[in-house]
Amino acid sequence: MEGKMTKTRILMQEFDYHSPTTLEEALSLLDEHGDEAKVMAGGTDLLVQMKQEVIAPKYLINIRNIQDLSMIEHGKDLKVGAVVLLNDALHFIRGDKRFRALSDALESLAEVQVRNMGTLGGNLCNASPAADSAPPLLVYNAKVKLASAGGERTLPLEDFFKDVNRTDLANGEMMIEIILPYPEEGTGGAFMKTKRVGADISKISCAISVRRERDICLSSKIAFGSVAKVPIRIKAAEKALRKEKVTETLLLKIGELIMSEINPISDIRSTAEYRREMAKVLFLDVFDLAWQRAGDNE
Amino acid sequence: MKKKNISITLNTEKREISVLPNELLINVIREELGLTGTKCGCGMGQCGSCTVLIDGAPVLSCLTLALSVDGAEITTIEGLESPDGTLDRLQESFIDNSAIQCGFCTPGMVLMGSDLLTKNPSPTEDEIRAHIKGNICRCTGYYGIVRAIKNAALR
């Protein structure tokens, strides 16, 4: 966790607290208070940032009690309310062959306690480049629905992340839903991350979703976390794999290509050099697993 | 900021308390309610020593605003033993398996072990380690803790 260390035993900041039970109430509060307000779901990122004095909202709007935002259901797409707890999302999709990259990622996200507090919406809106739910949601072509007092809009997740801890959310706007279209037949997905200890934020993470026909890669989506200011898809690598016969030579070449496409930094968790080297290794491991799973799903 | 009244059920006892918006659950538990079994380690959600159960689910009390638990059932480590003082099987197992040195991580570890066994009556070592990965121990090297949880399952 970056930011200067101050007191963490108590929360020094003063603010007004609201706990709306309907979306309308929440949006009205957001509209009234604009950038002086912060939406709070689990609080696992927000309260840490407040303790470190990185942010100082005057109003906290707890959205955990808005029932409409806590639904997760199958339909034309898989729809996940923004306030669905990470553990509830994990239990819902565990074993679902269509979303293995996401269940892998949720399993590796922090620890049980944080997953009983944190939400998928919160993980995305906090917009850490290391957000574990982001690479799988990117490879599954997820869309996010945002709402404000003025209306709603839906956009692809890859247009949502703008910079470190910055999203496309305008003043008065909040995320209400994450939409996952179902992958096509013959698709397999996987996610892995490297980290220091079990519950750590990633040094580097990778999600792949690949569509397979025997030994041909029909198409793939490849996303990385912690290698740029935002979670990113490596489209050059996806293009190089399209409709190709999968061989070890090709995969090694793609690994090298990925190394040249990313822009990692050195920080408290790892170095740019290590991240760059691991990008290739992680790609090979994740692709291998996603490829196997695609074969099982053909 | 104004104080607001909330009602909680703490270890099966109904309590009414008055808290400010920026009061954290961990401090309300330790100071206003006098239960110091729950510890504040890092205060940022990384060590797990502040673990409590809210409506049966383990969460981190150092990152929970007291106001947000209005109406909830809270279980701290003190709530694990029976009213007559009989220790829970996990508590017995921790003692019998040398799983306690300084004791600081112990309440969090015991609560996580208890949570795991309610969901998975005979966990493997890997499953135990995955379930406690949010709880840091600086003394024991985890071996005794994992063994204690594994053996508690057999009691």
pLDDT digits (tens, 9 = 90+) for A203-224: 999 999 999 999 999 999 999 9
Helix (H, G, I), strand (E, B) or coil at A282: helix
Tens of pLDDT, residue by residue over A252-272, are 999 999 999 999 999 999 999
List the single residue in A16, A19, A114 with the smallest CB-CB distance to B60: A114
Contact yes or no for A202/A129 (Cβ under 8 A):
no
Q: Is A147 left (phi over 0), alpha (psi -120 to 50) or beta?
A: beta
User: What's CA B128's distance to the chain center, in Å?
Assistant: 16
Q: Which of A70, A107, A113, A117 to mutate to test the interface with B (most CBs of B within 10 A)?
A: A113
Are the beta carbons of B89 and B148 closer than 8 angstroms?
no
pLDDT for the residue numbered A4? 61
Q: At what angle do helices A248-261 and A272-296 cross, to 10 degrees?
A: 140
Q: Which of residues 45-84 of A touch B (CB under 8 A)?
A: 47-48, 51-52, 60, 62, 64
Q: Which residue in the set B1, B45, B115 is minimally distant from A114, CB to CB?
A: B45
Within 8 A by CB and 6+ apart from A206, the residues are A135, A191, A192, A193, A222, A223, A224, A225, A279, A282, A283, A286
CB atoms under 10 Å from CB of A164, counted, come to 13
What local confidence, expressed as pLDDT, does residue A7 receive? 80
Average pLDDT over residues B42-65: 97
Is B58 near chain A, with CB under 8 Å? yes
- Average pLDDT of chain B to the nearest whole number: 97
What is the number of other CB atoms lying within 10 angstroms of the CB of residue A269?
18
How far is A7 from chain B, CA to nearest CA, in Å? 8
pLDDT at B74 over 90: yes
Q: What number is the average pLDDT over the span B113-131?
A: 97
pLDDT at B53 over 60: yes
Res B49: pLDDT:
98
How many angstroms separate the CA of residue B26 from the nearest CA in chain A?
9
Instruction: Compute the distance between CA of residue A112 and CA of residue B120 in angstroms, rounded to an integer.
Output: 14
Read off the pTM.
0.95
B63 interface with A at CB cutoff 8 Å: yes
pLDDT digits (tens, 9 = 90+) for B124-146: 999 999 999 999 999 999 999 99
Q: Cα separations (Å) of A249 from A252, A279, B153?
A: 5, 17, 49
Whether residue A3 is predicted with pLDDT greater than 60 in this model: the reply is no
| Helix, strand or coil, per DSSP, at residue B13 | strand
Q: End-to-end CA distance of chain B: give it in Å, rounded.
A: 50
Mean pLDDT score across all residues of chain A: 96
Residue A242 — pLDDT band, cuts 50, 70, 90?
Answer: very high
Give tens-digit pLDDT for B84-107: 999 999 999 999 999 999 999 999
For residue A83, give how far its alpha carbon lies from the nearest alpha carbon of chain B (Å). 15
d(CA A180, CA A79): 6
> Which positions in chain A touch B68 (Cβ < 8 Å)?
19, 43, 62, 64
Closest to B99 (Cα-Cα) out of B152, B36, B30, B35: B152
Would you call B139 an interface residue with chain A, using a CB distance cutoff of 8 Å? no
Verify whether the Cβ–Cβ distance A60 to B65 is below 8 Å.
yes
Per cent of chain A over pLDDT 70 is 98
A33-90 residue pLDDT tens: 999 999 999 999 999 999 999 999 999 999 999 999 999 999 999 999 999 999 999 9
**Which phi and psi angles does B3 have, rounded to 5°?**
-70, 145
| CA distance linking residue B82 with residue B99, whole number of Å | 21
What is the C-alpha to C-alpha distance for residues A179 and A60, in angstroms, rounded to an integer? Answer: 26
Q: Which of A51, A60, A117 sits opposite B44 (nearest CB)?
A: A51
Under the banding of pLDDT at 50, 70 and 90, the label for residue B155 is confident
Q: A44 and chain B: CB distance < 8 Å anywhere?
A: yes
Q: Of B149, B57, B65, B129, which Cα lies nearest the Cα of A91?
A: B57
B48, B64, B129: residue with CB nearest A43: B64
A6 vs B: CB within 8 A: no
What is the arithmetic mean of pLDDT over B50-58? 98
Q: Which residue of A has its CA nearest to B59?
A: A113
Query: Could you read off the pLDDT of A141-175 as tens digits, one per residue?
Result: 999 999 999 999 999 999 999 999 999 999 999 99
Task: Dump pLDDT digits (tens) for B15-34.
Answer: 999 999 999 999 999 999 99
What percent of chain A has a predicted confidence (pLDDT) above 90? 95
Name the band, by pLDDT with cuts 50, 70 and 90, for residue B8.
Answer: very high
Tell me which residue of A185, A237, A234, A250 sits closest to A211, measured CA to CA: A185
Sort out which chain A residues have CB atoms less than 8 A from B64's CB and list them.
43, 117
Contact A15, A57 (CB under 8 A): yes
Nearest to A17 among B60, B65, B130 (CB): B65
Contact A177, A75 (CB under 8 A): no
Inter-chain touch B63–A44, beta carbons under 8 Å:
yes
A62 vs chain B: nearest CA distance in angstroms? Answer: 8
Residues A26 and B132: their CA atoms lie apart, in Å, by 35
pLDDT-derived band at A5 (thresholds 50, 70, 90) equals: low
